[in-house]
Amino acid sequence: MSQTTITIENESFLINDKLTYSEINTSKPEAHGLLMNARFIQGIFDDKADPARFARWGHTEWNPETNTKALIDALPEWYDYGLRAFTVGFQGGGPCFTVGNDTIHNNPFGEDGTELDPAYAKRMDTLIRAADEQGLAVIVSYFYGSQAKRLKDGRAVRNAVIGASKFLKEGGYTNVLIEVANEMNIGSFKEHAIIREPEGMASLIDLAREASGGMAVGCSGGGGYRNREVAEASDYILIHGNGQSRQKYYEMVQEVKSWDQNKPIVCNEDSQALGNMGVAFKTQTSWGYYNNMTKQEPPATWGVTKGEDTFFAHRMAEGIGIEVPEISKEDQYHLQGLEPNWSYQGERWIRLASLYPETISYVDFYRNGELYYTSYDESFPINFNSNWRYGGVEIGNDDHEWKAVIHLGNGEVLERTAE
Domain borders along the chain are 6-320, 329-417
- pLDDT value, residue 218: 98
Mean pLDDT, residues 20-36: 98
Instruction: Using pLDDT thresholds of 50, 70 and 90, give the confidence band for residue 397.
Output: confident
Q: Are 176 and 137 in contact (CB under 8 A)?
A: yes
Q: What percent of the chain has pLDDT over 90?
A: 97
Amino acid at 79: Y
pLDDT in tens, 101-139: 999 999 999 999 999 999 999 999 999 999 999 999 999
pLDDT in tens, 41-100: 999 999 999 999 999 999 999 999 999 999 999 999 999 999 999 999 999 999 999 999
pLDDT at residue 318 is higher than 80 = yes
- pLDDT value, residue 306: 96
Mean pLDDT, residues 383-393: 96
pLDDT at residue 187 is higher than 80 = yes
- Look up the CATH number of domain 329-417: 2.60.40
pLDDT in tens, 343-367: 999 999 999 999 999 999 999 999 9
Instruction: Using pLDDT thresholds of 50, 70 and 90, give the confidence band for residue 268.
Output: very high
**pTM attached to this predicted model:** 0.98
Q: Coil, helix or strand for 36?
A: coil
Q: Which of 142, 230, 154 is nearest to 194 (CA)?
A: 154
pLDDT at residue 334 is higher than 90 = yes
- pLDDT value, residue 418: 87
Amino acid at 149: K
Distances (CA, A) of 78 to 16, 42, 81, 128, 322: 19, 16, 5, 15, 12
CATH architecture for the domain at 6-320? Alpha-Beta Barrel (3.20)
Distance of CA 70 to the CA centre of its chain: 17
Q: What is the mean pLDDT of the chain?
A: 97
Find all residues with CB under 8 Å of 332, minimum gap 6, and list them.
311, 354, 355, 356
Find all residues with CB under 8 Å of 273, minimum gap 6, and list them.
241, 357, 378, 379, 387, 388
Q: Which of 327, 332, 321, 304 is nearest to 406 (CA)?
A: 332
- pLDDT value, residue 322: 98
**Edge-to-edge strand list for the sheet holding 18-19:** 6-9, 12-15, 18-19
Q: Which of 417, 418, 365, 413 is nearest to 391 (CA)?
A: 365
